[in-house]
């Protein structure tokens, strides 16, 4: 089973083997924004109100999400963030803050 930690290690190994080096953090931030935009375009057209263009119909949603994840993993590696620890801490924060919030939201019923 793939873990977040293992994914970070695999990305790092790929960069060292095939990618020469990481792009700068600011370049990767711009790339992340671009990849999120590509994902947003497909989501808006496939699940939202916009009509889907012929050129978007064959786009693989999972591949677009994986592109976002890839660049996020690169940024984590570059900045020394352990995403496993960060995710678990974030989950705990959300649980403490929002443990009843969504159950009592009439918009979600």
Q: Report residue 14's pLDDT band, with 50, 70 and 90 as the boundaries.
A: very high
> Under CATH, which architecture does the 4-82 domain have?
Orthogonal Bundle (1.10)
pTM of the predicted model as reported, rounded to 2 decimal places: 0.91
Residue 69: closest CA among 11, 2, 15: 11
Q: Whole-angstrom Cα distance, residue 64 to residue 66? A: 5
pLDDT digits 0-9 by tens, 46-101 = 999 999 888 888 999 999 999 999 999 999 999 999 999 999 999 999 999 988 88
Domain ranges of the chain: 4-82
Q: pLDDT by residue (tens digit) across 63-77?
A: 999 999 999 999 999
For the chain, helix, strand, coil in percent to 5 are 70, 0, 30
> Whose structure tokens read 């793939």?
2
- Rounded to 5°, the CA angle 72-74-80 comes to 100
- Scored b (16 or more CB within 10 A) or e, 41-55 reads bbeebeeeeeeeeee
Say how many C-beta atoms besides its own lie within 10 A of residue 6's C-beta.
11
| Max CA separation in the chain (angstroms) | 52
Local confidence band at 109 (pLDDT 50, 70, 90 cut-offs) = confident
Give the span between the Cα atoms of 21 and 15, in whole angstroms: 6
């Amino acid at each position: 089973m793939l873990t977040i930690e293992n994914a970070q290690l695999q990305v790092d190994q790929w960069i060292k083997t095939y990618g020469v080096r990481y792009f700068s953090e600011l370049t990767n931030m711009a790339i992340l924004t671009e990849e999120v935009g590509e994902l947003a375009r497909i989501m808006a057209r496939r699940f939202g109100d916009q009509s889907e263009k012929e050129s978007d119909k064959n786009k693989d949603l999972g591949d677009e999400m994986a592109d976002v994840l890839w660049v996020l993993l690169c940024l984590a590696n570059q900045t020394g963030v352990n995403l496993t620890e960060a995710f678990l801490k974030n989950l705990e924060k959300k649980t403490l803050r929002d443990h009843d919030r969504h159950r009592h939201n009439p918009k979600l019923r």
